[in-house]
A and B are shown apart, each in its own frame.
Chain A
Amino acid sequence: MRTRALFYIVFGFLILGALLVLDLVAHSYSAMHGALLELIRAGLQGAAMLWFARAAEVLFFRTSSVSRVEEVRQAARWPIVLVERFSIVLGGSVLLALAPYVFTLSLRRVTTPGPFKIEPERFATVWSIDILGFLWLVMLVVLLMSFWQIVFVRQSPHFARRRFISWAVAAGFFALFTLWRDEGVIPPGAWSGSLIGAVALVVGIAALLLGYRLPWLPHATREGKQKLLMFAAINTVLALAALIAFGGDKLPADEIFERYALFWHSAAVAAFGTLAIYFALVFFSTLFTLSSTELVERKSAEVQSLARLTRFSSDILSSELLLDLPKLAEQITALAAEATESDCAWLELRTTNSFNVGRNNGEEIIRSYASIGEQAAERIMQEAEGFPEAGLQIPSPRGELERSRKPFVIRRRISNRQYLFPNAQQTTENRELHSLVAVPLIRKDEVRGGLYVAKEREDAFDDDDLTVLTAFSDVASLALETAKLVQNSIEKQKFDGELRAARVMQKSLLPERFPAIPGFDIYAISIPAYDVGGDYYDFSTLWDASTMIAIGDVSGKGISASLYMAETKGVVQALAPIMASMTELLDGTNAALLHNSPSTASLRRSFVTLGLVSFGKKGVRFVRAGHTPLLHVSKDGSFRFLQPRGMAVGLIHQPIFTEVLEELPVEVSSGDVLVLFSDGITDARNPEGKELGYDLLAQFVRQNLDVTNARDLTLKVLSSVAEYTQSGNFDDDATLVVMRCLEKL
């Protein structure tokens, strides 16, 4: 890059050298004079200028093109910066024009007393003129290239180039005609004067056209425009000064320049004239658009927010925001407020939760508030009488959205009600909101909610705010809906996996059918607190053909408990038909479980409590291995808890276990109810943390003694327990086995 620029510069100097040689030859032989010589000189100078221009482009403009892209981002500022910089270039031109004058003054003072005399015959004069002229040419290059930058900012390149070229052609003709007239090619006279005047007019019109449309001007900020006014005025004055310096008849600069190259002299005159016209135009355009600045500033803020929104929406589709619904809603609300420069904003969106269909028909409402409290927002959305002047027959803003399905603006509110909502500093203060924009959030042809922004000022919104917000709301509701779907699917996946495992476990452990016991109606239910439970109930037939109901509770929770429970169930099932009594059965079970259990202490911390009730020839009998007692509620409402002695299974070895085990006969009459339960029932807590306890369970059964069906009775008791907890959640597995002694007919 650099070497190429160096090559261009060297080439430019070579051409300039050729010019000097030409001047040397022309001077020595006085062979060539007049228009032809001038044109050849102009051509050589032009060629040198071209190469210098290319070097300048490579060095300054092409390398800076990267930063230019950056600067174009700050679109409003860039042209102003250019105009500012141009003042320096113009200032330099004026200084350069004055240089010969200063030069002569100093010469006069230091050396010869007479004024600086230009003697064309002297070779040194010609050369010094060449060098000065060359400097001016470089200046002209810089001038035109900088100008080129300004003219091209935010213009369609095609259009701008055409106008720039037509201007350059007009200026070229102006320079050529002036040259021809001065050299006598065109005889001086009235018509040649009017010809040059006409061409000058064309140059002026072309200059006006160059500055006719200033597309960047409306985007300037107020501050930018103030700067622009100042620098446009400075540039106009400087361009006029340069025009006089070069174009006037009295100044030595003009004399030197004219001698140097008449063609370029005229071109410079045309250029400075154009610049003066251009910047005057900029000045007045700025002056006239000053009043509309605020509007433009707001528009550009809106455009920026829209751009941010677009980027935001493409971002979120791949980001973790989709996994964080509340945060997503928060960001959307904040952006809505920002995009419309509102004092506050809020949104609500009903979403479908296909997973959790139990609550509110599976509907869930996402709400988010920016700079306003939930209550205040809710009041505004519901308020019907607040907007009589809006000319809307609206039940409330929320209702209006549902009805019209279209965005609307409320420009003025009659209500003087004050709303308490936190400002940016998180302190609460009373403010009144007078303007409101409401935009429906629509999915699948249904209004699912709304996006609201509000301002304290009256008449603070216009139709453009509606447009911005509508675009906004489409993206917002799509993003929120997507996030909700993602959330649902994650929940569902998780739930499905756990549920499958739990169901398989439960299925394999709990009997699907209840045994037919003469004179009794049996029902049982077990609700695991977690995915897999440690409670179980089962039915078996004993050696003596009596039917046995077992309830069990394995210590611990989760998978390991349920595995232990499965083992227990298997042992009981296997031993039941070969054991003579329930006591023996428990003995055997205890031995088997102790034998099977690993010897390492840390692994063997599970034990099982079992409660067995048998129905046979010996009547109803109950044995208890550490389990909760049997509840016996008589038909008359009296109740008792039967708690025979017995240790939990898996705790201790044979002799002690067997010794303490006690089997009790249960005297049951028709209409009585026997209930086996796990401690998950009696340990159920209400919101105050108080446990249900035995007595309350007995009460629940008593209250439902009139329910003759065991299944309904079980469910009623269970729902009473659930009601007691209020949340319906059990901390522990809860199991109920209800045995109802049928009325004898």
Chain B
Amino acid sequence: MAQETSTPSRFHVAAFTRPGSPVAVIELGGQLDAHTAPEFERFLERTVRDEDKHQLVLDFEKLDYISSAGLGVLMGLIEEVRAGGGDIKLAKLPEKIYHVLDLLGFPLVFQIFSTIEEAESAFES
């Protein structure tokens, strides 16, 4: 199943779940800034609360830009997800975005993987 929402050509987010897998892979694209962050937040909240998914892998491959507002969304939800026995793992970060996250010390809070599969299997262990 896939749910999808988008702001024309600016920001794109979609979730994919493999049958039988508890892990939701959330694909991000475009610009995640102060304007699109609320949309991202609503999407994540829906996934976590309404669909009760607590194992999330964020695919950053197609994301061009992330602002602090976008990162704030992640920080806002990480504790709730972890309290529910899950985690948010980041995968396929473009260099520029990795740089931003690195500055902020995100690698110390979030696990970062170079592929989706690695991130998914990290949940199993």
Contacts and interface: CB of A to CB of B under 8 A. Distances in A.
Contact of A602 (B45, B68, B100, B103): B45
Interface string B33-48: 0100100010001000
Most B CB contacts (10 A, CB to CB) among A605, A606, A646, A732 go to A605
A656 B104 CA distance: 13
Interface stretch (A182-190, A551-559, A695-703): A551-559
B105 A645 contact: yes
Most A CB contacts (10 A, CB to CB) among B34, B37, B73 go to B34
B71 interface: yes
Contact of A626 (B34, B77, B105): B105
A709 B106 CA distance: 38
Contacts of A628: 103
A126 interface: no
A230 interface: no
B100 to A, nearest CB: 8
Contacts of B104: 607, 609, 626, 647-648, 651
B72 interface: yes
A740 B20 CA distance: 61
Contacts of A557: 34, 69
B109 interface: yes
Interface string A554-572: 1111100000000000000
Contact of B108 (A555, A607, A660): A660
Interface in A578-624: 601-607, 609
B76 interface: yes
B70 to A, nearest CB: 9
B58 to A, nearest CB: 15
B79 interface: yes
Contacts of B37: 556, 605
A448 interface: no
B122 interface: no
A124 B34 CA distance: 108
Contacts of B108: 647, 652, 656, 660
A451 to B, nearest CB: 42
B41 A643 contact: no
A627 interface: yes
Contact of A647 (B41, B45, B69, B109): B109
Nearest to A530: B34
Nearest to A609: B104
A673 B99 CA distance: 24
Contacts of A656: 108-109
A557 B35 CA distance: 10
Contacts of A558: 34
Contacts of A555: 67-69, 71-72
A643 B79 CA distance: 27
A601 B103 contact: no
Contacts of B103: 609, 626-629, 643
A556 B41 contact: no
B21 to A, nearest CB: 25
A567 to B, nearest CB: 15
B118 interface: no
A720 to B, nearest CB: 22
A660 B77 contact: no
B80 interface: yes
B72 A601 contact: no
Interface in B78-106: 79-80, 100, 103-106
A605 B75 CA distance: 6
Contacts of A609: 68, 103-104
B84 to A, nearest CB: 12
Contacts of B45: 602
A656 B78 CA distance: 15
Given A555-B71, A556-B68, A647-B104, A604 B76 contact: yes
A517 to B, nearest CB: 26
Nearest to A693: B96
Contacts of B67: 555, 732
Given A557-B34, A558-B34, A660-B105, 14 more contacts: A555-B67, A555-B69, A601-B77, A602-B41, A602-B76, A603-B76, A605-B72, A605-B73, A605-B75, A605-B76, A643-B103, A647-B104, A656-B109, A679-B100
**6 closest cross-chain pairs (CB), A and B:** A647-B105, A555-B68, A605-B72, A605-B76, A626-B104, A601-B76
28 contacts: A553-B68, A556-B37, A556-B72, A558-B34, A601-B77, A601-B79, A605-B41, A605-B72, A606-B72, A607-B75, A609-B68, A626-B103, A626-B104, A626-B105, A627-B103, A628-B103, A645-B105, A647-B104, A647-B106, A648-B105, A650-B75, A651-B75, A651-B104, A651-B105, A651-B106, A656-B109, A660-B105, A732-B67
Interface of B: 34, 37, 41, 45, 67-69, 71-73, 75-77, 79-80, 100, 103-106, 108-109
